[in-house]
Amino acid sequence: MTRESPSARGALARIAREAWLVGGLPVLSIVAALVVGSVIILASELLLPNHAFDLLLPIKAYLALLDGSLGKESAIVNTLVSTTPLLLGGLAVAIGFKAGLFNIGAEGQFLMGALGAVAVGVAVSGAPPVVAIPVALGGGMLAGAAWGFIPGFLKAISGAHEVVTTIMLNYVARQVLAWAVTGPLAVPQSPSPVTYAVGNAAYPILVGRNGHLGILVAAAAVFVIWWLLYRTTLGFEIRTVGASSDAARYAGMRPRLLIILTMSLAGLLAGTAGAGVILGINHQMNSTFDTTVGFDSIAVALLARSNPLGVPFAALLFGAMRAGSGLMQIRAGIPVELIDVIQAMILLFLVAGPVLQRAFRLRGVRSDLGAPPPVPSEATV
């Protein structure tokens, strides 16, 4: 067809508008962050002595990043593996947003999930995998859920704000972990504090060198959480509490109970992420076990605008950048920390969305496509 009929054009325009409304701001934020990243690369070149200025270095760096994350099968598997905890963590934060809660505690919940998985996993390491894996995973999930339950419970009974309590519980989790690894779970007479391995509870490798079962667990979680939120009465209650807790009370729902439940569920998801890293990658825990998943998850959830179906895309983006950053450092000489800068920039632009829109409208984005996307009300704190 050489010319589209008006109705087809109308349909296309409508689809484009819908896509813009959903993804416009996140996409613009990513683009803007990459531009800022280029400027930083160029600026850093100027500061380096004995370095020939290369205007194309940012492009070289980004191509290396792309190559390192998607260039070949092993790169893709690496990307999936680093996406997995971000995806589960992103869901943990997103479901909190849906209920009007800002869960900054994904980090603590992740760590407790990892601890739960290693503690239970070591105990069942001799059992057949078909028993050991679910039991160890369950241990991690429960530990994470318990760590989410606490701030939910505190908020429900006393109104203590979850931002404060989850941040504090992150520190507590770190200390509990250090105590467990050096104390009750430590291998005796080991030169450095470390636990036993989880043995048969380890996730099987499904693809490539390191593509473990956790990838499927995370994928299943996306569906389960989407289904829960949009296809069940419980999800309706969670979303109602998030949108208007007064209306929820009026409608006969129990906001306090739902807050406890949602926080526990969030903890369970983050705990699953922590369990996945232990059972799929580390197989044991040493005292240096740590994570940046907690804060990266907030970025993922914001980028996905708390939509469970958007979380995988946002997590993939961040996972790919993590996976590809090594090659970027080797090929272009750009430190992996640039990824942190780009992530931070994406967040900054997302939050400063309205400003960004105005700037882009000035550059002549068609007005019918430039309608402001709805503010992610669940994501505002």
Q: Note whether 250 binds other proteins by CB under 8 A.
A: yes
Site membership for other proteins, residue 249 (CB under 8 A):
yes
The Cα–Cα gap between 85 and 81 comes to 8
- Is the distance from CB of 149 to CB of 260 less than 8 angstroms? yes
Near other proteins by CB under 8 A: residue from 59, 247, 352, 359: 247
The one segment of 29-37, 41-49, 115-123, 228-236 that binds other proteins by CB under 8 A: 228-236
371 binds other proteins (CB under 8 A): yes
Closest distance between other proteins and the C-beta of residue 106, in Å? 25
Residue 104: Cβ within 10 Å count: 24
- Listed in sequence order, the residues at least 6 apart from 254 whose beta carbon sits closer than 8 Å to its beta carbon are none
Instruction: Note whether 369 binds other proteins by CB under 8 A.
Output: no
232 is a contact residue toward other proteins (CB under 8 A): yes
Q: Are 179 and 118 in contact (CB under 8 A)?
A: no
Q: Which two tokens stand for residue 16?
A: 């484009």
Residue 23, judged by CB atoms within 10 A of its CB (0-12, 13-18, 19+), counts as middle
User: Smallest distance, Å, CB 259 to other proteins?
Assistant: 17
| Cβ closest to other proteins, residue 50 vs residue 233 | 233
Please state the φ and ψ torsions of residue 352, each to the nearest 5 degrees.
-90, 25
257 in contact with other proteins (CB under 8 A): no
Q: Is 366 in the site for other proteins (CB under 8 A)?
A: no
**Whose Cβ is closer to other proteins: residue 265's or residue 320's?**
265
- Tokens encoding 248: 């929820």
Chain-centroid distance, C-alpha 303 = 10
User: Counting contacts by CB under 8 A, is residue 239 touching other proteins?
Assistant: yes
233 touches other proteins by CB under 8 A: yes
Interface with other proteins by CB under 8 A: which residues? 231-236, 239-240, 243-244, 246-247, 249-252, 371, 377
